[in-house]
Structure 1
């Protein structure tokens, strides 16, 4: 009989601990990117050269939603790479060769591997 009481206390304790842990996860805020390689959240940053990337020095950044593409300026057009620090929004990149690439949230793209990036459209969706 004493063993039965002990077993019940262990099971009740395990249930309480499990509920507490589950509640902690349910209440935790989703992870947020603060910054990466010098690119502050919630921006899409451009790195004109490989040195700019390796020294955490973005040369341009965009963060606004638009209904169409934004034409890139001289500090971003033809960049070596692009980093998206946004958590839920993709960035549609357009290249002068007519190609497009969707840059997913919290990802980097070696833009020069595709061509000369010339436009950006930040989407209100993780997929473009």
Structure 2
């Protein structure tokens, strides 16, 4: 077998192996910590919900204005932002706000969260 043919066969074999490697590469894993499926901001009404990893409500849409929270999220004890690139601005009954950065948790204690605005940016 001449040298040019041999190089062509070796090149074809290498290209085939590379293609197989690309097609079987693992996909990026999404964040599902605390029972919160990516890309959501999850609310947990009680410590029991948090400890059981069972969100009582989730939000995922980026909006231009705040979304009022429903009965399953308003006054939640815990909030977890599973998004990788987007912050979530939380609004509280006392008039304050909190920017919940990507992949961050907040324990609200006695603060009553009333609305959320998911941002198209990690900062609010």
**Shorter-normalised TM-score: what interval?**
0.7 to 0.9
- Give the secondary structure class of the aligned counterpart of 1:88: coil
> Is there any run of 5+ residues in structure 2 with no aligned partner, and where?
1-27
TM-score by length of 2: 0.76
* Partner of residue 26, structure 1: none
* Partner of residue 81, structure 2: 84
State the Cα RMSD in Å: 1.7
> Is there any run of 5+ residues in structure 1 with no aligned partner, and where?
1-30
- Give the secondary structure class of the aligned counterpart of 1:37: helix
**Cα drift, residue 76 of structure 1:** 0.1
Aligned residues: 99
* Pair 1:53 & 2:46 matched: no
In 2, distance between residues paired with 1:93 and 1:66? Answer: 13
Equivalent positions of 1:13-92 (< 5 A) are 33-92=30-89
Equivalent positions of 1:77-116 (< 5 A) are 77-113=74-110, 115-116=111-112
- Which segments of structure 1 move beyond 6 Å, counting only runs of 4 or more? none
In 2, distance between residues paired with 1:109 and 1:46? Answer: 10
* Partner of residue 126, structure 1: 122
TM-score by length of 1: 0.73
